[in-house]
Amino acid sequence: MRDRGATLAALCDTFVPGGGTLPSASALGVPGVLRAEVAALGRPALVAELDRLLDTLDSPALNLALTGRAVRFSALERHAREAYLLRWAASPLALKRRAFQVMKRLVLLYTYGAEGSPYARAAGFAPPPLPPPAERAPLRLRAATAGETIDADVCVVGSGAGGAVAAAELASAGRRVVVLERARARLEDEFGRGELDGYAALFYDRGIAATEDRAIALLAGSALGGGTVVNWNTSLRIPPSVAEEWQAAGVDDLAEHYESVAARSDVDAEESARNGANAALERGLLALGRRARTIERNVSGCGDCGLCMLGCRIGAKRSVLRTYLADACAAGAEIVHGADARRIETASGRVTGVVARVAGGELRVRAPAVALAGGAILSPALLLRSGIARERAGRGFHLHPVSVVSGVYPDDLGGLWSGVPQSVLGDGFAEVDGAHGFRLEVPQALPGTLAASSPWWGAEQHRIRTAQARHTAAFIAIVRDRTAGRVIVDGAGEPVVRYTCGGLERRLLVRGMVEAARVHAAAGATTLFTLHTPPLERPADRLDELVTEIERRGVVSNRLTLFSAHQMSSCRIGRERRSSVADPDGRVWDVRGLFVTDASAFPSASGVNPMLTVMALARRTAQRMAAAS
């Protein structure tokens, strides 16, 4: 077998060959970074998958069967390698499209996202100066120690929106609370160190997680403070139609809990300034006679300093780091970080504790009550590894699939990395099919993410596209999904997300792209493009032609880049144990003392950004936990 390093370098340099003053991807060290990042996930199967792809690319025999030519990819000249990749990109074979998209995303992410990347500079990105950090929140933190046993009244697994609220409520009720957080603690003075560093330290699977078929990129916080540290501050409540569904599942009125968590989190619309992209969304919606709502955000003293999704260095984001975790610690709770909960222990139908994997071994927390708050991907995996709710845990999984349409504008909009991430909401399409529809919002995106998600149809086409980043606004259509996926665990006990959009979701994703394109055109964009492969782009004055082509192409796995930043419902609450993991109080069926207090408990998809609802539902459940004990 030839050197895989040479094959990987050839692959990287096909996507980013350099030219003029710009170096190639391999000259920037991207091949080594890419392999190291995949290895750092700690999943040998993914490293093996990468190696199989490289072996396939450089095998004359396999290429003879696949292409009719007995060639090595690494021996081809660049334009021939480019043509080779484009055949894979447009292939009718799903495995070829998947391989192309995975490698395209990784190479471009690590090229444009690297600190000081000349490609990010060419896209118009200049890292904002780091402001002085806020004083660290007063937390009782300590690193996990192998072999240790800790006694507590309650063990809270996870420190995000749900876990932090549960910990604060239970500690204030006089319980001895220990919070287990799988990530290493990172606080205010450590935020803002760069895109790749932030993804590696603050996101699940180092920011490159995806569904099993790699068709939907998954963004999920995995940090002290969970998603509240990296999200875009959007603080919404479920609409009445969803509230009715949840009431039928036994979740009664959340109004009191919403009011409490919103007040503690400084939720209001006073600091929802419009950056270039949000102003365009508002302008386009109003021009079409559509409502444009101002988004309420959980911030206080926001300096609009950028890099919001890498943690708030100035402490303006009222994440649970600065609210509920501080409250919990003030009431006596302790946070043990670097502790990955691997199994829940039970005896005679009652929870007795949690065992966590830590550096050098295991740690055990002995407790008669456990609040499960690891998130909609990790919580069901923990139950499955523990042999709890095996027939139901992981089922009913929802993720709000997201499609994107971008518009290029005559004016410099500042780039999607600048200003307030989300301040405008278009919810006029929220109930297209009963209680299901989509909402239009604006994402924050740094250069690596922008480059990785942009269609690649040759290096020159991609370079031209990314050079327009400061003039480009992206609108996302966030779909409330009805079709459910599933979270399972692999042979090593790690979670695998199985999800395929159903007919309703595909129709709504298409409609979302169509309406987003219309809003861009009304807002004054000159060029419109989707994230299809091959690229789909039209001048704004040929909008009808673009709409027809969007509808013709539709949504096909790995022919359209999709995202999800909202995962939920994988350990859902319900009245019937045959179709739910927990009862209406959040108590796991048949296991006394075990409660679900995160987004996995949602009876169905929320339809809106879930943070505030996670917190409200966790407060409700924690109060029931306290009453039960």
pLDDT confidence of residue 629: 75
Cα–Cα distance for residue pair 187/184, rounded to 1 Å: 10
Whole-number Cα distances in Å, 613 to 126, 337, 549? 35, 25, 37
Report percent pLDDT > 70 for the chain. Answer: 99
Whole-number Cα distances in Å, 572 to 249, 500, 567, 583, 620? 9, 19, 12, 9, 15
Q: What is the mean pLDDT of residues 61-67?
A: 77
Per the residue annotation, which of 257, 462, 532, 566 is the catalytic one? 566
Closest to 573 (Cα-Cα) out of 399, 401, 400, 396: 396
| pLDDT mean across residues, the chain | 96
pLDDT confidence of residue 253: 87
pLDDT confidence of residue 264: 98
pLDDT confidence of residue 420: 94
Tens of pLDDT, residues 78-130: 999 999 999 999 999 999 999 999 999 999 999 999 999 999 999 999 988 88
Residue 612 pLDDT > 60: yes
Tens of pLDDT, residues 288-313: 999 999 999 999 998 777 788 999 99
pLDDT confidence of residue 2: 61
Closest to 416 (Cα-Cα) out of 521, 218, 303, 275: 275
Residue 437 pLDDT > 90: yes
Residue 67 pLDDT > 80: no
Whole-number Cα distances in Å, 119 to 44, 108, 192, 199, 588? 31, 10, 19, 19, 50
Answer yes or no: are the C-beta atoms of 603 and 573 closer than 8 Å: yes
pLDDT confidence of residue 303: 77
pLDDT band at 1 (very low <50, low <70, confident <90, very high): very low
Concatenated DSSP letters of 234-269: B-----HHHHHHHHHTT----HHHHHHHHHHTTEES
Q: Which residues of 409-442 are buried (b: 16+ CB within 10 A; e: fewer)?
A: beeebbbbbbbbbbbbbbbbbbebeebbbbbbbb
Residue 305 burial by Cβ neighbours in a 10 Å radius (0-12, 13-18, 19+):
middle
Cα–Cα distance for residue pair 571/525, rounded to 1 Å: 43
Q: Is there a catalytic annotation at residue 566?
A: yes
Tens of pLDDT, residues 218-244: 999 999 999 999 999 999 999 999 999
List, in sequence order, every beta strand (DSSP E) within 416-470.
424-425, 438-441
Tens of pLDDT, residues 383-402: 999 999 999 999 999 999 99
pLDDT confidence of residue 354: 98
Cα–Cα distance for residue pair 427/173, rounded to 1 Å: 39
Closest to 462 (Cα-Cα) out of 199, 86, 97, 95: 86
Under 8 Å CB-to-CB from 200, ≥6 apart: which residues?
37, 40, 206, 207
User: What pTM value is reported for the model?
Assistant: 0.96
